[in-house]
Amino acid sequence: MSRAQFVKESAPSGEWKRQSNWFTGRITRESTARPGEGPDERGRWPVETGRYRLVVSLACPWAHRSVIVRRLLGLEDAISLGVVDPIRDDRGWRFTLDPAGRDPVLGIEFLSDAYRRTDPSYDGRVTVPTIVDTVTGLVVTNDYPQITLDFSTEWTEFHRPDAPRLIPADRAELNRLIEEIYQDVNNGVYRCGFATTQETYESAYDALFERLDELEERLADREYLLGDRLTEVDIRLFTTLVRFDAVYHGHFKCNRNKLTEFPNLWAYARRLYRLPSFGETVDFDQIKRHYYLTHDTINPNGIVAKGPDPRAWMAA
C-alpha cells in the first residue's frame, strides 16, 4: 500500500485515519521555472495568471475553504474554477455538472484522469481541492492546507486592492489554533463518523465538544477567533460549522449539541455567513446529497435528511 492509499479501514484501535496528500507541489514567486514550463527542481511552479485550475466540490469542507479564500482575495480571474458533481461513483469525482460530462478547460471526465496522467502508479483516493496545470494537464497539488496559505502569500500581485490580510505577521497563535481546530473539529467530526469502535468514537466525540466549548468561551468577547479581524483560521472553522447541523450532528453522531445551541458559535457562524464569499458559496443541497448518498456504510438506504431549514442562517 502506498503512502497515498486511502485508509478507510480502521487502525487496530478502531480510529479512522486520513490519507496523506500525495501531490505537494507549490505555486510560488520563488519558482525558477520559466512561464509555460513545469515545476523547477524543487517542485515549485511559477505564478502565472490564467494558467491553473482549482477543482472543487461544493460539498467538501476542505475544498470550500479554497473557494472562499479565492473569492475574498479576488483571484477569480487569475485562477479558474472547476466544480465536480457532489456524488462520487467508483471512479471518484466526476465532471457531470458540465456539458457532455467533461470539464470545459481540462477536457477530462473524471478528476482521476489528471491524477493518473501525473502519476500512473497512483492508487490512492482522489481528493478535492486539487489544482491542475492547464498547460501540461498535470496535478500541481492536492495539499489542501497549503493551497489557501499560498493564495494569501504567493498570489499577492493579483489580489484585489481591498483584499483582507488573512495571514497575520505573527503567525504563532494562528498556527496553534489551526492545528487544534483541525485535530478536534475539522477532522474530529470525521473521526466520530468513521470510528469503528465505541471507545474511539467516544474519544473523538469528547475531544470535539471540549474544543467547541473552548471556542464558545473564546468568542464571548471577540468578533473573530483572533480578535477584531478575519483570518485564515475563521475560514477553516466556518466550513465545518456550516455543515454541522445539516450533516455532522446526525450523520456523524456528533449529537451532544447542535450548532444552534452554542449561542456564541452560532452568532459567529451567522456573521461569517453574511459576509461576501461565505454564505454565497454554501450549497446545502450538494452538501447533504454528498454526505448522505456516498457513505454507504453509515447510511445504507441513502435517505437524505430534509432539514434543517437553511433560512435560520439569515435570521436576526
Judged by DSSP in three states, 60 sits in coil
* Owning domain of residue 280: 172-314
Tell me which H or E stretch contains 140.
strand 139-141
CB contact set of 264 (below 8 Å; sequence gap of 6+): 216, 217, 219, 220
Catalytic residues: 60, 190
Q: Which residues of 116-136 are buried (b: 16+ CB within 10 A; e: fewer)?
A: ebbeeebebbbbbbbbbbbeb
Report the pLDDT value the prediction gives residue 17, as an integer from 0 to 100: 76
Its pTM stands at: 0.94
185 marked as part of a ligand binding site: no
266 has binding-site annotation = no
Any idea what the CATH number is for the domain that residue 146 is in?
Answer: 3.40.30.10
Q: Are residues 124 and 218 in the same domain?
A: no
Residue 12: inside a domain, yes or no? no
> Is residue 16 domain-resident?
no
State yes or no: 218 annotated in a binding site: no
Packing angle between helix 144-153 and helix 61-73, nearest 10 degrees? 10
Check residue 245 and report its DSSP letter: I
User: Do 37 and 153 share a structural domain?
Assistant: yes
Residue 127 lies in a domain: yes
Same domain, 63 and 189: no
Residue ranges of the chain whose pLDDT lies below 50: 1-10
The answer on 153 and 85 residing in a single domain is yes
DSSP string, 66-99: HHHHHHHHT-TTTSEEEE--SS-BTTB-B-TTSG
259 belongs to a structural domain: yes
Q: How high is the pLDDT of residue 35? A: 86
Same-domain check for residues 108 and 242? no
Say yes or no: 180 and 117 in one domain. Answer: no
Map residue 226 onto helix, strand or coil.
coil
Using the 3D structure, point to which of 96, 130, 158 is the last residue of a domain. Answer: 158
Does 201 fall in a domain? yes
Residue-wise pLDDT for 263-275, tens only, equals 999 999 999 999 9
Q: How many Å apart are CA 31 and CA 23, to the nearest integer? A: 17
Does 191 map to a domain?
yes
CB of 96 within 8 A of CB of 289? no
Among 123, 107, 56, CA closest to 115 = 123
Split into its structural domains, the chain has a count of 2
Q: Tell me whether residue 52 is exposed, middle or buried, using C-beta atoms within 10 angstroms of its C-beta: 0 to 12, 13 to 18, 19 or more.
A: buried
Q: How far apart are CA 229 and CA 18, in angstroms?
A: 31
Q: Judge contact between 211 and 218, C-beta under 8 A.
A: no
Quick one: residue 107, left, alpha or beta (phi over 0 = left, psi -120 to 50 = alpha)?
left
| 40 and 140 fall within a common domain | yes
- Taking CA atoms, 54 is separated from 81, 114, 129, 168, 316, in Å, by 5, 12, 7, 25, 34
Judge if 205 and 310 occupy the same domain. Answer: yes
288 and 228, same domain (yes or no): yes
Is 32 annotated as a binding-site member?
Answer: no
pLDDT value at residue 89: 84
Residue owning grid cell 524543487 = 42
Distance of CA 117 to the CA centre of its chain: 24
- The whole-number pLDDT of residue 117 equals 97
- The CATH number assigned to the domain holding 215 equals 1.20.1050.10
Look at residue 12 in the predicted model and tell me its pLDDT. 52
Would residue 8 count as lying in a domain? no
Q: Are residues 177 and 95 in the same domain?
A: no
Domain boundary among 124, 158, 192: 158
Are 179 and 306 within one domain? yes
7 marked ligand binding residue: no
Q: Is residue 245 a part of any domain in this protein?
A: yes
135 and 177 share one domain: no
